[in-house]
A = this chain, B = another copy of it.
Amino acid sequence: MAKHWSVDPTEALRADGIQIAELDTSATPGFKGKKKAGQSLLAERTQVLSDLQEKLYASGRSGDSRSVLLVLQGMDTAGKGGIVRHVIGSVDPQGVDHAAFGVPTRAEKRHDFLWRIRKRLPEGGQIGVFDRSHYEDVLVARVHELVPESVWRPRYTEINAFERELVDSGITLVKVALFVSLDEQRRRLLERLNRPDKYWKFKPADIDERAYWPDYTEAYQAVVDRTSTKGAPWYVVPADHKWYARLAVTELLIDALEQLQLDWPPADFDIKEQKRRLRDE
């Protein structure tokens, strides 16, 4: 366990039994330090993450079909983008496959909801990142009744079957839901309205969505209740403190990579012979 953690983040953040409506989004579960300690630890740990990621990439290049997939969910302003920029941004872009899932296109709507997801699954050796995901189809789709209940209700079971298939195929899922409070979201939206370099992140519809907060809370609760499985558990990350959320996700990714027990791929050639060839050219 990394220093400053009193409980391993994989335990402290596991969704099992969590009541999202009662979550303290300003808490820092399992972490003993404050912001300064967290930020300094983050710098250290992203280096560890980067080293592990290089081993994953090397393994992939050598035929290992395993990969890691970070699934990021969260309301507007919860900090998904910051995780990508500051956590995923610390590793080699060659080994990252980032996919953002917005409102489905017309072509996507003509297919099963998992169709566009399957197309973006990471290849062996990659860290895939889903900024929003198939879970939108039981979140926004449920809250706004974009499809009838008879369609979204069976999706939890379909998602579990789908994810079991992914796990069996060698994809380690790291499912992270970021939560800020309604107040913190207001502050962050106001910041976007106060800074010309942030206007582009704001849409008036973001405020409309705040009226649906209880519905989203309920929909997220159903997600963690019904799709947090042994093979693909959910982690619920309080995200009022950006430094904490970034550190927590870094630790979750490190744990996932460590579980793979990666090592540098051995030479599949005779090293001495190859050195001789270079010398005798």
Using a CB–CB cutoff of 8 Å, the interface residues on chain A facing chain B are 58-59, 61-62, 81, 84-85, 88-89, 91-94, 96, 98, 100, 129, 131, 186, 189-190, 193, 196-197, 199-204, 207, 210, 264-267, 269, 271, 274-275, 277-278, 281
Contacts and interface: CB of A to CB of B under 8 A. Distances in A.
A85 B93 contact: yes
A79 B70 CA distance: 29
Contacts of A93: 84-85, 88-89, 93, 96, 98, 129
B89 A264 contact: no
Contact of A94 (B100, B189, B204, B266): B100
Contact of A207 (B62, B84, B277): B277
Complex copy number for this chain: 2
Contacts of A94: 81, 84-85, 98, 100, 131
A271 B159 CA distance: 40
B274 A202 contact: yes
A265 B192 CA distance: 12
Contacts of A189: 278
